[in-house]
Each structure stands twice: as structure tokens, then as C-alpha cells.
Structure 1
Amino acid sequence: MRPRSGPTVEHRVLAARLRTLRERAGVSLHAAARALDAHPATVRRIERAETGLDARQVRTLLDRYGVPAAEAEPIMTGLGAANLPGWWHEWRDAMEPWQQEVIGIESSASLVRTWHPALVPELLRTPAYAAALCRTRYPADTPARRDRRVELLGQRQRRLAERGATLWALLPAAALHTRVGDAGVMAEQRAMLAEAADRPHLTVQIVPLDAPPHPMTAVPPLHLLRVPVPEVGDRAVLETPGGRADVVDDPGTVMEHRIRLDGACAAAPHPGAPLPYDPPAP
């Protein structure tokens, strides 16, 4: 059964390890499935971290692959931690389906790069700014569910900062002119961005209104996530209309997005430059 709140990085690492051991042993998916008396799709789901890691199945697979005890026991020992739900499990009522996978990776990422073409990126939003957006984006939600969405975002921001992960955000100056909420909400949001330059592990670049087109011009919201373990590759998350997103793990495609974002960041003012915003005349 697929984990209801998305797999943790520990789960992904063990699943990838099982795939590597099978390939190293030269055992096909069909042969592994016969050892389990199951369909090959079952083995594929285990290796993709799309289902819980059952101890009996894992032990059978390790035996079939001829894994020595010294190598197999750490894997068996790690099953308990890998099957634990992530901290975000209790917030699943406030999450979109695609966020379950993204937050699972983000929670162990050492680097998060983010771009939004029109608004302040979510990991830099103040609670008031996020709440105002929720009222617009989720009009059918109850006030309680919108509050949960804002609380979840706050948890993500706090945990990212506590781990010392690097957050690098790029946004257009137009985001500072788009009024979300009232003038007080915008003033608080701009003040937060202004002091962001003094925060460790945080880089904010803002593209001026009069800047020429750059490689990210008109590109939907993009997030690049890097986890410092070889078994979990980088992810690119490209948001699409309707509250959906494409989560990409193909290395070539992720590299294309990274090159595009690198080009836009290189063309933007140096981090720490004053906010390109002139408040309206009274």
C-alpha cells in the first residue's frame, strides 16, 4: 500500500538500495517477483518507494539476491525508521496530492532553489501574505482548512531554517507591486524580504521591472530540490494551473531547468541589493 503521506527520504534510500542489489545480482523483476510469489509490479513499487517495506518481503528479496548478512542486517535494521510516517503526515488534510512527495524530499534537502513569475515564493511568504493568497486560491475551503494550509507552510519554513538548509529564491519586482491582502500585509512582506539578506543560508534575488527578458521569463513556478544522498536524485517541481504540479526526477530534464534558472540568476541583481520598490504616494 502506498504511504498515505508520501515516502520519507529514509524510505527512498532503502528502496533504491534494493533496486541496486537486484541489478548487481543480475536478477530480473520477474525472477524477484517469483521469489515473493507476487506480480513484477509489486517489486517495481517496492523499488520506487510506492509501498511500505514489509520485513518478510525484504528479507526474501535479500536472500534471493545473495546479499551477505553483514550487508543485509543494516537494511533490515533500518526498516523500522523507513516505515515511520514523516512529520508532515498529520498535515495531509491541508496538502495537495503532489505536495506529499515534494515535502517528503524538501524535508531532507540541503538546497532548495525556487522561482515564482508573479508572487513571492511560498517559502518566503509571511503568514498574513499566505493567508490572503489562500482566501483567493481556495475559496471553497473552510476557514479552518485555510488556516491549516498556512500552518503547514510555517512548519516547512521553520524546519528548513532549523536544519540550516540553503534557500535560494528568485522573483520579479512585479511580485512586490501585486497587492496580496491589504497594504499592511504587503508592508510586512516587503520588510521580511528586506531583512532576508541578513539571514544565514538564505539568498534572495529580485529581477527589476525594467529588466530585459531572462531564461525564466514566463516560466511557471519552479522548485529545485537537492538531497545530499546519492540514492535520491535531484527533483524539479514545475507547478501548473489548477493546483497541480509535475515532479520531475529525470536527470537530464532537471539539469535543463537548473541551467535555465542559473542563467536567470546570473542576469539578476546581486543578492542583497535594495528592494526595487517605490511605495505609492500618500
Structure 2
Amino acid sequence: MVTGSTMARRALGRELKRLREAKRMRQSEAARAIGVSPQTIGRMEDGLPTKVSDLYINVLCNTYEATAGQRAMLLELALEVRTTHKSGGGWWRAYADEMREGFDHYMGLEEAARRISVWKVTIIPGLLQTPEYRRALAWTETPGVQTGPVEKRVAMVVRRQARLDDPDFVVDVVLSEMTLRDRIGGAGVMAAQLRHLAEVGEFPNVSVRVVPFDTSGHLGSVTGSFVLLEFPKMSATGLIEPPVVFVEEYAGDLYLEREAEVKPYRNAFAEISRVALDHDTSRQFILSIAKEYGE
């Protein structure tokens, strides 16, 4: 699987930061070595888009007294960043006009992930949405928007779901009953959406389970919705990217990467999974609600 520039940038930044800190150097000192601002060094180390030429990498390696192996790894990562950038980035770039600000970063993470664990209190996850559901959601998000932009959002969801055909991409979804009861688009749209959930939940690499309303107090009520993304080894370097927690908010998204931030969400997902219905019971529960919509 191609990891793309998002993973390469994150790995490159993390390794550059580790080398700098091992030399007890400040970002301002590293910046002077290659003639850039400390902010540029910060962007590099945070894995954000910025120039990563071989000249910069080699000078920083000299400054940090990197080993030959470390230098080769960093140059390989920088090459992957530039190659992906020249090719125009991920397929989702074509839909940039219809994505909210910053969501392209999440798409890069999702495309590179080997496993995602999702807890949703409201709204069916994009990977599992039907076109009709996504269309109705778009009208809810931006009433009065023209048909063209809406259909572009729908097309993006359909393209995004191609990842589900990859047997090495594991999707573990736990839904609050609220996601099944919230009538996005009306009864007909919801009935079809829930039948789709039951169908996709039969895929060997996809799990869809439900936490009913009558479940006693559980941690999911406190955490709110979140996604835990885990990544494979990078083919070029053998590095494994640390997991990321994505918390989607109406006014802006949150990405948590430090182990101290990720661990509570990992534990929370395990606890929410513990109280969720099992696979078969969840499927019957989903279909029973779909039947209610169809009546």
C-alpha cells in the first residue's frame, strides 16, 4: 500500500525532531543552518506541508551528526514526500472545494491507515454512508447549496469507500442507537441506509456493532465521537507511524498523537466495545429499526 505524503511527512518530521533534540539544539539553531525561519523547522517537524529538499536534509543531517543509515532513511522519506506532491497528492484533492478546511489531512491519514476504530454518537461514518444519506446530510449541513457541489460530495463518499475492498484495511465501527434513529433524509433514506449497514457489516474486514439506548451508563456518553487510526510499516523505511485519534467537531477538528492522549481513547474504545451488542445481535437490531422505517 502506498503511504503517500501524509505518512512520509509525519515520519520525516518526527525523525528530524528526534535528531535535533538529541543534539540539544533549538529550532532557531536548526533554522539558521539551512537559512529558514524557526517556523519552517516547526512545520517540518510537525509533518506539515513545506519544502523538504535533499539540500535541506543533508545540511540538517550534517548539523545533527546523523549516521549514514539515518541520512539514507531521511532522504528516502523526503523523496516520497516530493514524489507524491508532484503527482498531485491523494485522489481526494479533486474534491478539495467541497471539503471543510483541514479535512484533507484526515483523508491522508485514512488512506494510509491499516485499521480504524470508530465510535459514533451521531451521524453514520462516511465510509458506511449510502449516496442518498450523504446527499440528505449535505442539504442539512448547508441548506440551499446548489446540486453540483452536493453531488461532488456524494461522489467523494463513493470513491472513499473503495478502501473497504482492501482486505488489509480493517474497520471496526461501534454506533450509538442515536445514529440509527436520527432521521437524516427521512424514513426511506434511513431504511436503505440501515440495510446497507447490515450488508457492509458482513464484509470480512468490517465490523458494525451497536450500543442501544437501554445500555447502562458507559464511557461513550462521556467521550463523544472519535476515530482511532493505526498504520502499517512504511515500505521504504520499516518505520511504524504512531496511532492518531481524530475528534471531529462542528467548528474545527482535533488530532491527538501523543501516547498520553491516545491511550485514554484506546481504552475508551475497548470499554465501549465491551458493552456493545455482538455482531449478529447488532445486525438484527439494525434490521429491526430499518423495518420500522419501512412500515
2:240 & 2:156 partners in 1: Cα distance? 27
Q: Take 2:244 and 2:69, find their aligned partners in 1: how far apart are those partners? A: 32
Alpha-carbon distance between aligned partners in 2 of 1:18 and 1:270, rounded to the nearest angstrom: 44
Deviations 1:24-63 (A, max 9, x none): 4444323322211233222222111222312321221112
Per the alignment, do residues 218 and 131 of structure 1 end up closer, same or farther by CA in structure 2, a change over 3 Å counting? farther
Q: Is the Cα–Cα contact under 8 Å of residues 169 and 205 in structure 2 kept in the other structure? A: yes
2:114, 2:231 within 8 Å by CA — same for their partners in 1?
A: yes
Bigger share in helix: 2
Deviation of the 1:108 alpha carbon: 0.9
> Could you tell me the TM-score, scaled by structure 1's length?
0.87
| Count of paired positions | 276
Among 226, 238, 241, which residue is 1:232 paired with?
241
In structure 2, distance between residues paired with 1:115 and 1:39: 40
Mapped to 1, the partners of 2:7 and 2:188 lie a distance apart of 39
Q: Give the match for residue 3 of structure 1.
A: none
**Aligned-partner Cα distance in 2 for 1:163–1:21:** 36
| Offset of residue 160 of structure 1 | 4.5
Q: Secondary structure at the match of 1:114?
A: strand
Over the matched positions of the two proteins, sequence identity in percent amounts to 26
Per the alignment, residue 41 of structure 1 pairs with: 39
Answering whether residue 13 of structure 2 is matched by residue 15 of structure 1, we say yes
Equivalence for 1:100 = 104
Residue range with higher mean Cα deviation, 57-66 or 16-25? 16-25
SS in 2 for 1:275: helix
SS of the residue aligned with 1:49?
coil
For 2:64 and 2:135, locate their aligned partners in 1 and report how far apart those are by CA, in whole Å.
Answer: 52
| Secondary structure at 1:113 match in 2 | strand
Tell me if structure 2 keeps the 8 A contact 1:126–1:192: yes
1:86 to 78, 90, 103: 90
The CA RMSD over aligned residues, in Å, is 2.4
Instruction: Kindly state the Cα deviation for residue 7 of structure 1 after the two structures are TM-superposed.
Output: 4.9
The code of the aligned residue for 1:61 comes to L
Taking structure 1 as reference, are residues 71 and 119 closer, same or farther at Cα in structure 2, changes over 3 Å only? closer
Aligned to 1:247: 255
Match of 1:31 among 19, 29, 32: 29
Task: Give TM-score, length-normalised by structure 2.
Answer: 0.84
* Change in 2 beyond 3 A, CA 1:146/1:132: same
Q: Once the 2 structures are TM-superposed, how far is the Cα of residue 129 of structure 1 from its aligned partner?
A: 0.9
Residues 198-277 of structure 1 mapped to structure 2, 5 A cutoff: 198-217=202-221, 219-229=223-233, 232-242=241-251, 244-273=252-281, 274-276=283-285, 277=288
2:236 aligned residue: none
What is the CA-CA distance between 1:121 and the residue it aligns to?
2.2
Name which of 149, 155, 161 aligns with 2:165: 161
- Deviation of 1:70 after TM superposition, in Å, equals 4.8
1:68 positional shift: 4.1
AA at the equivalent of 1:150: V
Which segments of 5 or more consecutive residues in structure 1 lack a partner in the other structure? 1-5
Determine the C-alpha separation between the residues in 1 that align with 2:144 and 2:60.
47
Matched, 1:112 2:111: no
Q: Does the CA-based 8 Å contact 2:231-2:240 persist in structure 1?
A: no
- Structure 2: distance between partners of 1:23 and 1:218: 37
Residue type at the aligned position of 1:269 = L
